[in-house]
A and B are shown apart, each in its own frame.
Chain A
């Protein structure tokens, strides 16, 4: 199975900050990498698919890049509604696996 490792596991940031989350795969997954946002008690929401494609309706302050084994999600200017947990997920091979999550908290 492909292991996905996110860093950091949590971070504290202020509104307006630029935030970067990284995700590393245990083997190359090309660009089969997706990012999700999850708020407490809610279902995850797709933000980014295929490593860098913004899902319809997602604000442009979210961007992502990477290929192979190393990927990043960037929030250019953190907004109050962005405080949540973020997960990366690979769809290169079964079983599709998720990172452990990065919790973005208010500083």
Chain B
């Protein structure tokens, strides 16, 4: 059974940092692109960043460029999102998701990030 389990969310002050983790199991993690997708409270879905199998390709949405960094550790079946200079508008549930057939085929349960003073 595929499992993606996010952790690392919480309350942080504006300008602060957080590092999200996603532990993957039940599939060959190293063979898949991976993404972070977020959802602000009561809002729709927004893709945040993705990374290819060997980290040679990484992309992110303009609103987080220069602040968020996606990375992975294939030996530990883990995906990460380092979030710096956090803003109120980054408040959201953050999901990790695996890619297959150019779609997000499996999702974690999400971790809530709240940016507030």
Contacts and interface: CB of A to CB of B under 8 A. Distances in A.
B27 interface: no
> A interface, by DSSP: helix, strand, loop or mixed?
loop
Contact of A97 (B35, B47, B102, B105): B47
Interface size class of B (residues with CB under 8 A): 20 to 34
A34 B104 contact: yes
Given A43-B110, A55-B105, A96 B47 contact: yes
A50 B44 contact: no
B45 A94 contact: no
Interface of B: 35, 37, 44-47, 50, 59-62, 95, 100-110
22 contacts: A32-B102, A34-B104, A38-B45, A44-B37, A44-B107, A45-B107, A46-B103, A46-B104, A46-B105, A46-B106, A49-B100, A49-B102, A49-B105, A50-B102, A55-B105, A89-B45, A89-B103, A89-B104, A91-B102, A95-B47, A95-B61, A100-B44
